[in-house]
Amino acid sequence: MGVLPDSVQKVIDAFEKLPGVGPKSAARMAYHFLRARNNDAINLANSLLTMDQNVVNCRDCFNVSETEVCSICDSPLRDTKQLCVVEDPLDVVAFENSGVYKGVYFVLGGVISPADGIGADELRFPELRMRVGNLTSKIRDHKSSGEMDVAVEFADNPTNKGCLELIIATNPNLEGEATAVYIQDLFRKEISEGTLHITRLAMGLPTGADLEYTDRLTLKRALEGRRAY
Amino acid sequence: MGVLPDSVQKVIDAFEKLPGVGPKSAARMAYHFLRARNNDAINLANSLLTMDQNVVNCRDCFNVSETEVCSICDSPLRDTKQLCVVEDPLDVVAFENSGVYKGVYFVLGGVISPADGIGADELRFPELRMRVGNLTSKIRDHKSSGEMDVAVEFADNPTNKGCLELIIATNPNLEGEATAVYIQDLFRKEISEGTLHITRLAMGLPTGADLEYTDRLTLKRALEGRRAY
């Protein structure tokens, strides 16, 4: 371009790589730092470097963490008989902020998406197998050790069958569904043996929805999933 | 929150300070770096630090620059009899990308906006006075030195009166208009002496506009500014 100093253009280019940032907003971001002339640019740079250095994937669930095992996997208060499979660390944040889930997670790292060139090999299915294996054997040991049946602790869980529950929480779109089917197939043996049962998040109307503007598929799913009062 | 590692939260906080970035997109940006696990985070950090170190304001026009005098002010090809006053460096980029302007610029650093607590003292009016003084005396010297009248060079400029033209290019909103009026007042003496004349960018219909959806004020301005074929 020539108009822009090289070092400014490089910042704009780096911002443009971010999701949802086009050339115009990237330029506005870069100039924000130049206009303000405070320490904002240095702060962002340093926090990026610190994050890059400190953050690892949790050994067990692959969520982002600053310790080898994340605070959720490490907590004695979490129900290790429920394993929620999500696509992304941000999905974990959504669940945690809602406060409605007390089990543990597994971050798959995406979904199967042939259109984006993401096959099953790109995702953490071997690690998921291992995680499921560890949790089911933990439940088995617990039972055979003669301690009070853990099922009592989680009596409020309607789907509790005394074995590990794998809750598939991929997004309700084509790729998410395909991935859910793939996971079910992956654990066919465990399901038939009764050491694992798989559930999927309910689909239907979101809170505050307007029937008039609801798409056909959502209506269909809401009808199929209707419940008695 | 506890859910998010500290170092991730700090990056999110830093992103949230950027214009047009809310908490959700800030989180998505931070996680983009964690998901990709390439050098994107380090690249952005380094380019921010380089920019912070290298970029200064041009001594003459206050545009961003990596040299004491920017490449526009330094160019012998620019018409120093036209001075375009803009709010921001990004406005310079817009003009330069259009390729329609060959004069020089002055970056005011904002507009008078009492609602945002920005008074005239916050803006570069003393520097603008100095810049106008320098350019007008340059024109005077040029004329008295008996060289070919510069007016010939810029004969295609319909508003060329052989003196410095100050083109006010603040945005066409309340604050931009108020600032334009302030600038006119600032140079009352020079205008009456004939060493400076002030113009304002035309207002009217933008290319591709639809009359049906054009607001009242734009229509009014388009009518007032109508021209003979």
Query: DSSP per residue over B140-186, as a string?
Result: HHHHHTTPPPGGGTTTT-TT--SSEEEEE---SSHHHHHHHHHHHHH
Interface of A with B in 6-35 (CB under 8 A): 6-8, 10-11, 13-15, 17-21, 25, 27-35
Contacting residues of A for B49, CB less than 8 Å apart: 41-42, 45
For B67: left if phi > 0, alpha if psi spans -120 to 50, otherwise beta; the answer is beta
pLDDT of residue A145: 72
For A66, name the nearest residue in chain B, comparing CA atoms only. Answer: B5
Q: Do B34 and A64 touch (CB under 8 A)?
A: yes
Residue A168, H or E segment: strand A164-168
| Whether A186 contacts chain B with CB within 8 A | no
DSSP state, residue A228: -
| Whether A52 contacts chain B with CB within 8 A | yes
Q: A164 - beta bridge partners? A: A196
Of A30, A26, A1, nearest to B48 by C-alpha is A30
C-beta separation of A196 from A187 below 8 A: yes
Q: Which amino acid is present at A149?
A: D
pLDDT of residue A14: 92
| Whether B5 contacts chain A with CB within 8 A | yes
A106: helix, coil or strand? Answer: strand
Of A138, A143, A106, A142, nearest to A125 by C-alpha is A106
| Helix orientation angle between B40-54 and A40-54, rounded to the nearest 10 degrees | 150
Q: Do A55 and B5 touch (CB under 8 A)?
A: yes
Q: Which pair of tokens denotes residue A180?
A: 């859910």
- Min Cα separation B17/chain A (Å): 8
Q: Could you read off the pLDDT of A135-150 as tens digits, one per residue? A: 998 888 877 776 554 4
- Min Cα separation B99/chain A (Å): 11
DSSP state, residue A88: S
Out of A88-102, A155-169, A191-205, least confident range: A155-169
For B64, name the nearest residue in chain A, comparing CA atoms only. Answer: A5
pLDDT of residue A129: 96
Q: How far apart are CA B87 and CA B107, in angstroms?
A: 6
Q: Where are the beta strands (DSSP E) in chain B?
A: 56-57, 64-65, 79-86, 103-107, 164-168, 196-200
Q: B84 - beta bridge partners? A: B105, B167
pLDDT of residue B138: 87
Q: How far apart are CA B195 and CA B165, in angstroms?
A: 9
Q: Do B41 and A52 touch (CB under 8 A)?
A: yes
Q: Do B64 and A109 touch (CB under 8 A)?
A: no
Q: Do A5 and B65 touch (CB under 8 A)?
A: yes
pLDDT of residue B37: 64
Q: How far apart are CA A57 and CA A11, in angstroms?
A: 28
Contacting residues of B for A108, CB less than 8 Å apart: none
C-beta separation of B92 from B86 below 8 A: yes
Q: Which residues, 6+ apart, have CB-to-CB distance to A22 below 8 Å?
A: A16
pLDDT of residue A167: 93
Mean pLDDT of A110-134: 93
Query: Which of B28, B31, B34 is the best residue to mutate to test the A interface, defined by the most A CB atoms within 10 Å of its own CB?
Result: B34
C-beta separation of B45 from A46 below 8 A: yes
Contacting residues of A for B7, CB less than 8 Å apart: 47, 50-51, 53-55, 66
pLDDT of residue A51: 92
C-beta separation of A118 from A176 below 8 A: no
Look at the block and give the residue holding tokens 């999927």.
Answer: A200
Top-confidence residue, B161 or A87:
A87
For B30, name the nearest residue in chain A, comparing CA atoms only. Answer: A48
CB neighbourhood size of A225 (10 A)? 11
Which parts of chain B have pLDDT scores under 50? 1, 149-156
Contacting residues of A for B92, CB less than 8 Å apart: 3
Q: Do B97 and A3 touch (CB under 8 A)?
A: yes
pLDDT of residue B209: 80
Q: How far apart are CA B192 and CA A194, in angstroms?
A: 94
Query: Which of A1, A28, A47 is the best residue to mutate to test the B interface, defined by the most B CB atoms within 10 Å of its own CB?
Result: A47
| Whether B109 contacts chain A with CB within 8 A | yes
Q: Could you read off the pLDDT of B61-120 as tens digits, one per residue? A: 999 999 999 999 999 999 999 999 999 998 998 899 888 899 999 999 999 999 989 999
Interface of A with B in 59-88 (CB under 8 A): 64-66, 71-72, 88
| Whether B46 contacts chain A with CB within 8 A | yes
pLDDT of residue B155: 44
Q: Which amino acid is present at A32?
A: H
ipTM over 0.85: no
Of B92, B124, B121, nearest to B108 by C-alpha is B124
A104: helix, coil or strand? Answer: strand
**Mean pLDDT taken over chain A:** 87
Separation in Å, CA A149 to CA A26, A79, B104: 56, 13, 81
